[in-house]
Amino acid sequence: MTTLKLHNSLTRKKEDFVPIDPEHVRIYACGPTVYSFAHIGNARMAVIFDVLANVLRAQYPKVTYVSNITDIDDKIIAASRQTSEPLKQITRKFTEIYNSDMRSLGVSRPDIQPRATDHIDQMIAMIKELIESGHAYEADKHVLFHVPSFEKYGGLSGRNRDEQIAGARVEIASYKKDPADFVLWKPSDEDDEDEPGWHSPWGYGRPGWHIECSAMAQEHLGLPFDIHGGGADLKFPHHENEIAQSCCTAHGDENDLASFAKYWVHNGFVTVEGEKMSKSLGNVTLAHDLISHHKGETLRLNLLSAHYRQPLDWTAESIEHAKNTMEGIYQNLREIEDIEISEDLPPVPEKFMKALCDDLNTPKAISELVALAKKAANDKTPESKGAFMAAAKLLNVAQEEPSRWLGYGKGNLRERELINALVEERSIARLRKNFKRSDQIRDELLEMGIVIEDTPEGTIWKKV
């Protein structure tokens, strides 16, 4: 078995992945806050950790991949106030849209997709414990984690407390004992219907952002677990605070940052046409919109075309490239469409697996995949086709029928009859060497978006 290597943000090194329990690998990735449509950056995270889970499943007998839905957050409250739509309706709607959009991108549902609001009890229990052990305190209806109580704080992002305070963008609430302290629980207005809340030992209120992931990871995976992931921007403060909360409970170890999660994996950002995605620039690219214009596999391939830790520039041109690559692969597959292969796929080809095992080097893996497709088309054997399919399955691309994907013979009945009649007429013209007429028909078809290919078995056509 090829050893999986992962860049561990905690140690800033590429390390061999050694599972805590080889019989059961456990992974957690921070999922979306469901107040709006997922953008292409959310999609990148979902696709990357989907591939990572696939790689792990190929190597270990049991993998549990947990990715949460954040359905309690001030951004959701704001969205609800703005649209006058009930909060629960918003979160339910956007959770469904998220899952459906991700499915279109070939992302499997995580094994467990916990919702924050289903884990309020666990969060309250955890906060209680942190107060009892002196790591948290109640102040002005808030509960805050006291950062100076955790000596190792800052180990993930590599910053010490003095530097942070020097950053000076910190808004210092008067009730904080230390400027770096962060909220575990905050009050909600019981008379305000828009503001959700739960009863707690500290009054009616709602959890802070970071505590949910600590609670859900502990609930569904247990501590310590193997891999924790998310977008690079979550490293600080979100993941740093998760570590603080979890290491300071009885399940963790205050002196060991890895007592929460052993490997930390962070994916890079997506830019759009060279610019940072932001609301003010108006260039936030939504997965939902892309799906209606492009095939899911094209978008997925594009998302995997840069290494996960590198920035990815999302451009019209890059989508076109990805589409061309997919087309090339499917053209190869079309030549071997009739070759039957067993449902039980052979082992994943070594060179391909090696690329993925090298810190999930998907660009390299894609180049191997293209080579495997070419080899399969050349060999025309079930073995070569099976080898390709085994690799493609891991990336979850090239899973459709080649002819269909490429647009051969596609269209409604009336359309097909018209095209077939024209193709037939052209064939007759060609037999009679009336090339003027046959070329004329070809141009007519092209205008209809139909491309003609003359093969030894006769003329075929496809929609472009």
Task: Give residues 221-250 in contact with RNA (rule: CB under 7 A).
Answer: 230-238
Q: Using CA atoms, how far apart are residues 444 and 125, in angstroms rounded to an integer?
A: 71
Rule CB under 7 A: say whether 19 interacts with RNA. no
Strand ranges inside 46-201, DSSP E: 63-67, 136-139, 142-145, 182-187
Backbone angles phi, psi at 388, to 5 degrees: -60, -50
Backbone angles phi, psi at 55, to 5 degrees: -65, -45
Rule CB under 7 A: say whether 409 interacts with RNA. no
Q: Using CA atoms, how far apart are residues 49 and 266, in angstroms rounded to an integer?
A: 10
In the complex, what is the shortest distance from the CB of residue 181 to RNA, in angstroms, rounded to a whole number?
7
Structure tokens at 70: 């954040």
Q: Using CA atoms, how far apart are residues 230 and 238, in angstroms rounded to an integer?
A: 10
In the complex, what is the shortest distance from the CB of residue 57 to RNA, in angstroms, rounded to a whole number?
22
Rule CB under 7 A: say whether 313 interacts with RNA. yes
Strand ranges inside 142-299, DSSP E: 142-145, 182-187, 205-207, 225-231, 261-267, 270-272, 275-276
* Closer CB to RNA, 61 or 282, in the complex: 282
* Closer CB to RNA, 112 or 371, in the complex: 371
Q: Check if the beta carbon of residue 110 is closer than 8 Å to that of residue 301.
A: no
With CB under 7 A as the contact rule, the residue among 204, 411, 451, 463 that binds RNA is 451
Rule CB under 7 A: say whether 155 interacts with RNA. no
Structure tokens at 226: 């193997």
Structure tokens at 167: 């950053």
* Closer CB to RNA, 18 or 170, in the complex: 170
Element (H, E) at 15: strand 13-16
In the complex, what is the shortest distance from the CB of residue 154 to RNA, in angstroms, rounded to a whole number?
9
* Closer CB to RNA, 151 or 171, in the complex: 171
Rule CB under 7 A: say whether 449 interacts with RNA. no
Question: Per-residue x/- marks for RNA, 259-298, CB under 7 A?
Answer: --------xxxx-----xx---------------------
Rule CB under 7 A: say whether 311 interacts with RNA. yes
Rule CB under 7 A: say whether 377 interacts with RNA. yes
* Closer CB to RNA, 18 or 78, in the complex: 78
In the complex, what is the shortest distance from the CB of residue 23 to RNA, in angstroms, rounded to a whole number?
30
Tokens 């180990």 -> residue? 155
With CB under 7 A as the contact rule, the residue among 5, 20, 125, 179 that binds RNA is 179
Rule CB under 7 A: say whether 166 interacts with RNA. yes
Element (H, E) at 26: strand 25-29
Q: How many Cβ atoms from other residues are within 10 Å of residue 347's Cβ?
A: 10
Rule CB under 7 A: say whether 148 interacts with RNA. no
* Closer CB to RNA, 20 or 452, in the complex: 452
With CB under 7 A as the contact rule, the residue among 358, 408, 411, 418 that binds RNA is 358
